[in-house]
Amino acid sequence: MVNIQFPDGAVRSYELGITPMAVAKGISEGLAKKVIAASIDGVVSDASTPINKDAALKLITWDDADGKSTFWHSTAHLLAEAVEATFPGVKFWVGPAIDRGFYYDMDLGGKTISEEELSNLEKKMGELAKQNNIFIRKQISKDDAIAYFAEKGDEYKLDLLQGLTDGEISFYTQGAFTDLCRGPHIPHTGLIKAIKLTSIAGAYWKGDEKNKQLTRVYGVSFPNQKELDEHILMLEEAKKRDHRKLGKELGIFTFDDNIGPGLPLWMPNGTVIIEELERLAKETETAAGYKRVVTPHIAKESLYITSGHLPYYQESMYPPMELEGVKYYLKAMNCPHHHKIFSAENRSYRELPLRLAEYGTCYRYEQSGELFGLMRVRCLHMNDAHIYCSKEDFANEFRAVNDMYIKYFNIFGIDKYVMRLSLHDPVKLGQKYINEPELWLETEEMVRQVLIESNIPFVEVPDEGAFYGPKIDVQIWSAIGREFTLATNQVDFAQGRRFGLQFTNRDNQPEVPLIIHRAPLGTHERFIGFLLEHYAGKFPLWLSPVQVKILPISDKFNDYAFSVNKQLLEAGIRSEVDDRSEKIGKKIRDTELMRVPYMLVIGEKEQTEGCVSVRRQGKGDAGQCSVSEILSTLTSENKNRQSI
């Protein structure tokens, strides 16, 4: 007998070797039908795994995250079965579950999968699923496994096997398909009721661009059609808030073939947002003791030799222009320029911390395939600043920067993000990372403490730091689910020395400052791209390109409309009159679609009484009020940067 403990704490005895599926059946047939896998003492396993000792058991269904990933991983096997039937001789690499679905990487031996074949594969998978084929696990010796794939001529699986330990190797078979796999898998293919193959892509083997490119097929599956329909609907909804679509509709930015890829043109509406963000940054930074600087967009090659960006970063920079035998580069970062401002004068410890801020324009020659709307561009405006400080000041300065992030994020209501603390790898000191083992540990600990004290959830990622120090990145996701770093906060104990930066300390000795690179608002490009999706185009008043639209009921009230408009403009409100001879319904519709936060409807009654009828975007009629009342509402909401 074995004693099995359930998640609610209850313990029941079963005969030795009972499977989770049998346990489920003992509870109810309905439950058994839903069981996908089981967690046995915390290890996710097949529902058919015999339990041979006392254990804690959790039955896993579709509702569990582990259930979904098991389900999707099994669907990946189903895909492989369908592909093998369609493309004999195909070789497979790996087919994991991902956040939303699964993929399988394969070598089709030069063949390609067309869109049509993709939907055929989808149908084929549906047929195979209906066969209710059981996923059969088989423990196999390493030699036998190698022999099997050598026979098959599959160098990818042989490569995988090299990294595996004999005794821990298993095969899974469903229907006509057998794969090297650790598992677990769902009981049988019949559970997979709805399948969608979403896209075909190229993916480098082992993620290395020097390797051969395999064909990757992405897909997603569900235990019923309804959930698939909902999933597709959700994707369509997400597309509606895609910043590329909204940016066009709202007249925020545009691209032009003759300007160049990745070089956004900011239209008047977008420029309003840029200027409001800069105003916020300037107010905040001035209050925090920053000093503003302005630097040129280009610099001589020698600057980037000093900084070490050449030749390592060269391929990400626009090629140089040569004048009188000297090469000039468009700047890809502002740091070296700021360092030169630091070193322009003799610095005393009394001047520190010195905080130099600039919305710096940078140019990066990103690979063409990486460009993505506003999120990844070649001309970017960075909310940059460099803080030069002594080691003693460091923790305070870093904390202050962190507080600034939090302050900003509160203003924008940004809560779906992950703070990522990127650390060094001691093995790579002197190669990927500057060889200062103690400074690394010391600054990493300081940064960690700041994060813990400020109560911000964060994840630590080894071997992701910058060359010159640890960093914190704020990770966000675009509407279609792509991940980006929105903002960054980096420690730098290398560039100071490279640039020969120093200040005279209290002991009248020269000392190299520590440098903090920080960009809490990231770049205008990515930040506004993010905000467009974050707000779904419905910016709060202070960021709205047009804050108020005045809508006269008919031409007769245009004069009064313009007189109200004049008062608003004089109070600093971005207001416009819609004086077209359209019906009020049409004017409202157009203004709603442009996401203008306030509409003032004006007709006979309002003109006579000298008031306005207020309509809030998305909320409808909000009643009448006097011009001075609406003016003070707008002014205070605007000034306080109120969110909606």
Partner RNA sequence: GCCAGAGUAGCUCAGCUGGUAGAGCAGCUGAUUUGUAAUCAGCUGGUCGGGGGUUCGAGUCCCUUCUCUGGCUCCA
Q: What are phi and psi of 548, to 5 degrees?
A: -135, 135
Shortest distance in whole angstroms from residue 28 CB to RNA: 40
Instruction: Find tokens 């609907």 and name the residue.
Output: 233
Are the C-beta atoms of 201 and 216 separated by less than 8 Å? yes
Using the rule CB under 7 A, give the single segment among 63-71, 157-165, 297-305, 374-382 that binds RNA: 374-382
As a whole number of angstroms, the distance between CA 488 and CA 522 comes to: 7
Q: Where are the alpha helices (DSSP H) in 454-583?
A: 495-498, 524-534, 558-570
Count of C-beta atoms within a 10 Å radius of residue 349: 19
Nearer to RNA, 246 or 543 (CB): 246
Using the rule CB under 7 A, give the single segment among 394-402, 438-446, 479-487, 503-511 that binds RNA: 479-487
Q: Which of 15, 257, 324, 438 binds RNA (CB under 7 A)?
A: 257
Are the C-beta atoms of 579 and 555 separated by less than 8 Å? yes
Q: Which of 161, 180, 486, 564 binds RNA (CB under 7 A)?
A: 486
369 interacts with RNA by CB under 7 A: yes
As a whole number of angstroms, the distance between CA 236 and CA 106 comes to: 29
Please report, as a single letter, which amino acid is at residue 45. S
For the chain, give percent helix, strand, coil, nearest 5.
40, 30, 35
428 interacts with RNA by CB under 7 A: no
Task: Extract the tokens encoding 141.
Answer: 């010796």
As a whole number of angstroms, the distance between CA 472 and CA 619 comes to: 39
520 interacts with RNA by CB under 7 A: no
Shortest distance in whole angstroms from residue 437 CB to RNA: 22
Task: Extract the tokens encoding 195.
Answer: 């399948």
613 beta partners: 601, 624
As a whole number of angstroms, the distance between CA 128 and CA 352 comes to: 70
* Strand pairing category for 418-422 and 471-477: antiparallel
| Binding map of RNA across residues 187-216, x = CB under 7 A, - = no contact | ------------xxxxxx--xxx---x-xx
- Which has the closest alpha carbon to 140: 182, 189, 176? 182
Nearer to RNA, 351 or 559 (CB): 559
DSSP-assigned letter for residue 376: B
Q: Which of 353, 522, 540, 545 binds RNA (CB under 7 A)?
A: 522
Question: Hey, CA dihedral for 497, 366, 101, 236, is it positive or negative?
Answer: positive
219 interacts with RNA by CB under 7 A: no
Shortest distance in whole angstroms from residue 225 CB to RNA: 23
604 interacts with RNA by CB under 7 A: yes
Q: Where are the alpha helices (DSSP H) in 436-492?
A: 437-453
Name which of residues 32 to 91 contact RNA (CB under 7 A). none
Please report, as a single letter, which amino acid is at residue 126. G
274 interacts with RNA by CB under 7 A: no
Question: Cis peptide leading into 545, omega within 30 of 0?
Answer: no
As a whole number of angstroms, the distance between CA 421 and CA 216 comes to: 31
583 interacts with RNA by CB under 7 A: yes
Nearer to RNA, 227 or 592 (CB): 592
Shortest distance in whole angstroms from residue 374 CB to RNA: 8
Q: What are phi and psi of 257, to 5 degrees?
A: -55, -35
Shortest distance in whole angstroms from residue 19 CB to RNA: 36
Nearer to RNA, 601 or 631 (CB): 601
Nearer to RNA, 122 or 582 (CB): 582
Contacts of residue 410, defined as CB under 8 A and 6 or more positions apart, other chains included, come to none
Nearer to RNA, 20 or 373 (CB): 373
Name which of residues 611 to 630 contact RNA (CB under 7 A). 613, 615, 618, 620-621
Shortest distance in whole angstroms from residue 255 CB to RNA: 6
As a whole number of angstroms, the distance between CA 239 and CA 243 comes to: 9
Are the C-beta atoms of 79 and 95 separated by less than 8 Å? yes
Nearer to RNA, 32 or 83 (CB): 83
Shortest distance in whole angstroms from residue 576 CB to RNA: 13
Nearer to RNA, 111 or 123 (CB): 111
588 interacts with RNA by CB under 7 A: yes
Nearer to RNA, 254 or 640 (CB): 254
As a whole number of angstroms, the distance between CA 56 and CA 39 comes to: 8
Name which of residues 122 to 161 contact RNA (CB under 7 A). none
202 beta partners: 215
Q: Which of 182, 586, 610, 626 binds RNA (CB under 7 A)?
A: 586
Q: Which of 12, 556, 566, 639 binds RNA (CB under 7 A)?
A: 556
371 interacts with RNA by CB under 7 A: yes
Q: Which of 279, 428, 605, 639 binds RNA (CB under 7 A)?
A: 605
Name which of residues 315 to 344 contact RNA (CB under 7 A). 316
289 interacts with RNA by CB under 7 A: no
Using the rule CB under 7 A, give the single segment among 22-30, 171-179, 410-418, 547-555 that binds RNA: 547-555
Are the C-beta atoms of 506 and 349 separated by less than 8 Å? yes
Shortest distance in whole angstroms from residue 630 CB to RNA: 13
Q: Which of 35, 377, 423, 447 binds RNA (CB under 7 A)?
A: 377
By three-state DSSP, how is residue 55 classified? Answer: strand
267 interacts with RNA by CB under 7 A: no
Q: Which of 185, 244, 386, 518 binds RNA (CB under 7 A)?
A: 244
601 interacts with RNA by CB under 7 A: yes
Q: How many residues bind RNA (CB under 7 A)?
A: 79
As a whole number of angstroms, the distance between CA 599 and CA 575 comes to: 10
Shortest distance in whole angstroms from residue 323 CB to RNA: 25
Using the rule CB under 7 A, give the single segment among 153-161, 222-230, 317-325, 378-386 that binds RNA: 378-386
- Which has the closest alpha carbon to 184: 68, 14, 34, 55? 68
As a whole number of angstroms, the distance between CA 228 and CA 129 comes to: 16
Contacts of residue 201, defined as CB under 8 A and 6 or more positions apart, other chains included, come to 215, 216, 218
Are the C-beta atoms of 516 and 490 separated by less than 8 Å? yes
508 interacts with RNA by CB under 7 A: no
Shortest distance in whole angstroms from residue 393 CB to RNA: 24
599 interacts with RNA by CB under 7 A: yes
482 interacts with RNA by CB under 7 A: yes
Shortest distance in whole angstroms from residue 379 CB to RNA: 8
589 interacts with RNA by CB under 7 A: yes
| Binding map of RNA across residues 437-476, x = CB under 7 A, - = no contact | ------------------------------------x---
Name which of residues 563 to 582 contact RNA (CB under 7 A). 581-582
Shortest distance in whole angstroms from residue 130 CB to RNA: 28
Strand order in the sheet with 136-139: 136-139, 170-174, 177-180
Count of C-beta atoms within a 10 Å radius of residue 415: 8
Shortest distance in whole angstroms from residue 211 CB to RNA: 9
Please report, as a single letter, which amino acid is at residue 82. A
